[in-house]
Amino acid sequence: MISCGCFGGTTFHGLALAPSICRSTSMFSPLRTLTLTLAATNPHHRLLRRVLFPTVVRAFSSTALPTVPITKQEGKAAAKPQWKTAIDFKWIRDNKDVVAANIKNRNSNANLDLVLELYEKFLNLQKEVEWLRAERNVVANKMKGKLEPSVRQALVEEGKNLKEGLVSLEEDLVQLTDQLQQEAQCLPNITHPDVPIGGEDSSIIRKMVRSPREFNFNIKDHLELGKDLELFDFDAAAEVSGSKFYYLKNEAVLLEMGLINWAIAEVSKRGYIPLITPEIVRSSVVEKCGFQPRGQNTQVYSIENNDQCLIGTAEIPVGGIHMDSILPESALPLKYVAYSHCFRTEAGAAGTATRGLYRVHQFSKVEMFIFCRPEESNLYHEELIAIEEDLFSSLGLHFKTLDMATGDLGAPAYRKFDVEAWMPGLGRYGEISSASNCTDYQSRRLGIRYRPSSDTPATSKKGKGSNLAPTQFVHTLNATACAVPRMIICLLENFQQEDGAVVIPEPLRPYMGGLNVISPKAKTSQ
């Protein structure tokens, strides 16, 4: 997923934010209040090689907090706890130095001390609740025999007092559990041991493909080319929608549609199931994928008076497609290639480095997504980056692949590879793609498990049976096949000609009606 920045319908919804307990430094930054018009045979690969996965993953894979049963009391509604994620708090407490170092290396704002403090309070309060329940059972058992009326009445009063105290403590326990969950959900994923430590400058080049093209004429950037070739209209879009919106015109429309169809076709050949996703999702699904939709540091457009958001990437709806499911092992890996529009506030983004199509509020993107067994996720991470490299290499682009440093990883990523392509008009490399292995960080929030195939086949229902092997969380991975605006920048700037025309790379021509060249428009005589 990369950070770049058509609706119909008649209902207008204001977009606003509510504060969040998490202070995320992930891909999503601050949001303004806005108003928008809204509408709203896969071959399975069998891998012979198995990769050992670090045992530290268990810290984020085991169910730690039990469900808190609530004692009902007439006239009072029990508090409803928020969604839970399975976190092994005991492991975190016992390995707090390792967790603290990971938080520091990733430049995360997660508050480990508060998590540990809340966990201790939770344990103590849980003991009190269990003691009161046991006392209440003792009283109930005493009342089963034949008793003097005065003794029975005393036991009734004692039971009533215990019940009232228990209800109060259970409500406190629910609130404390929610607070603990909210803080713990800010903890970032663990980090692959080979990931370089430091900020973005510490990232390591894995691969360099081709050399920059040498031009023997004065080159233009994509904005100049787009103006000369009549491909974009930023001015009209600014009047209609605001800054960082745009109209595509003429051959640019064919280029966008060609890129989308080319990317889907190429990735589908490799066994990925094509999807077109919803572009409005529940806020909880955004949170479960590891993003903060309602906080100061967010790029998510949230719909006012509605628990829904516009998606910033198809990773979110694809990640949720198997939410709260138990998959049979035989179904894995599940591979998807998804097309969607993406919406990002891009707050704080300004300057020449983000001008034009480089960072916009709405864009089209083709995303790859994999659900797999834990021991295979490292291999599929390599598969995803290899697909990206094949796609961009086939277009004749000069690019480099980076193993991103800890400070540049979003909260969900265990490891992330970025692809940066040379953009000669901008005079620099620009990110056009990334591939992330999120291990079970998302699946344990989304409730996506699989059942090993050594037992009877499982369904999506969470049934019980002594003959069923324990379920495990799947691992999830995502990667960008084509972020259209960034790709348009690369193609226009790298394949411009001295006469102002732009040559279309051969792989795209069949998807653009055979168009070979975008030529300057003939000027009409006055």
CB atoms within 10 A of CB 206: 14
For residue 189, give the DSSP letter.
Answer: P
For residues 453-466, b (16+ Cβ closer than 10 Å) or e, as one string?
eeeeebeeeeeeee
Q: Give the pTM.
A: 0.81
Mark the binding-site residues, compressed into ranges: 313, 344-346, 360-363, 367, 431-434, 478
For position 165, what pLDDT does the model report? 79
Q: Which two tokens stand for residue 140?
A: 């109930």
Contact between residue 327 and residue 457 where contact means Cβ atoms under 8 Å apart: no
What whole-number distance in Å separates Cα of residue 367 and Cα of residue 395? 18
Cβ-count burial of 423 within 10 angstroms (0-12 exposed, 13-18 middle, 19+ buried)? buried
What whole-number distance in Å separates Cα of residue 100 and Cα of residue 250? 53
For position 2, what pLDDT does the model report? 55
What whole-number distance in Å separates Cα of residue 442 and Cα of residue 375? 16
What whole-number distance in Å separates Cα of residue 447 and Cα of residue 65? 15
For position 524, what pLDDT does the model report? 58
For position 294, what pLDDT does the model report? 65
For position 132, what pLDDT does the model report? 82
Which residues share a beta bridge with 232?
248
For position 151, what pLDDT does the model report? 72
What DSSP assignment string belongs to 294-325? SSSS--PPBBTTSSEEE-SSTHHHHHTTTTTE
What whole-number distance in Å separates Cα of residue 273 and Cα of residue 42? 6
Residue 497 φ/ψ, nearest 5 degrees: -115, 165
CB atoms within 10 A of CB 39: 11
Supply angle C-alpha 175, 176, 182, rounded to 5. 90
Mark the binding-site residues for L-serine, compressed into ranges: 313, 344, 367, 478
Cβ-count burial of 231 within 10 angstroms (0-12 exposed, 13-18 middle, 19+ buried)? buried
- DSSP-H helix ranges across 356-410: 377-394
Which residues share a beta bridge with 76?
73
Give the DSSP H or E segment for 432.
Answer: strand 428-437
For position 274, what pLDDT does the model report? 98
Residue 376 φ/ψ, nearest 5 degrees: -105, -5
For position 469, what pLDDT does the model report? 87
Mark the binding-site residues for ATP, compressed into ranges: 344-346, 360-363, 431-434
Q: Which two tokens stand for residue 90?
A: 């005991």
Each of the 526 residues of the chain gets a pLDDT tens digit; together they read: 554 443 333 333 334 333 334 543 333 333 333 333 333 334 343 332 333 333 344 444 444 454 545 444 444 444 444 678 888 899 899 999 999 999 999 999 999 999 999 999 999 999 998 888 888 777 677 777 777 787 777 877 777 877 877 888 888 999 999 999 999 999 999 999 999 999 999 999 999 999 999 999 999 999 999 999 999 999 999 999 999 999 999 999 999 999 999 999 999 999 999 999 999 999 999 999 988 776 666 789 999 889 999 999 999 999 999 999 999 999 999 999 999 999 998 865 556 667 899 999 999 999 999 999 999 999 999 999 999 999 999 999 999 999 999 999 999 999 999 999 999 999 999 999 999 999 999 999 999 999 998 754 444 545 455 578 899 999 999 999 999 999 999 999 999 999 999 999 999 999 999 999 999 987 755 4
What whole-number distance in Å separates Cα of residue 52 and Cα of residue 376? 9
Q: At what angle do helices 149-184 and 112-142 cross, to 10 degrees?
A: 160
What whole-number distance in Å separates Cα of residue 267 and Cα of residue 273? 9
For position 147, what pLDDT does the model report? 75
Nearest Cα residue to 315 out of 348, 344, 352, 355: 344
For position 54, what pLDDT does the model report? 38
For position 30, what pLDDT does the model report? 31
CB atoms within 10 A of CB 297: 19
Q: Which residues contact 5 (CB under 8 A, 6 or more apart)?
A: 244, 299, 344, 346, 349, 354, 358, 359, 360, 361, 362, 363, 485
| Parallel/antiparallel/unpaired status of strands 325-328 and 448-451 | parallel
What whole-number distance in Å separates Cα of residue 488 and Cα of residue 510? 17
For residue 288, give the DSSP letter.
Answer: H
For position 267, what pLDDT does the model report? 98
CB atoms within 10 A of CB 162: 20
Contact between residue 155 and residue 138 where contact means Cβ atoms under 8 Å apart: no
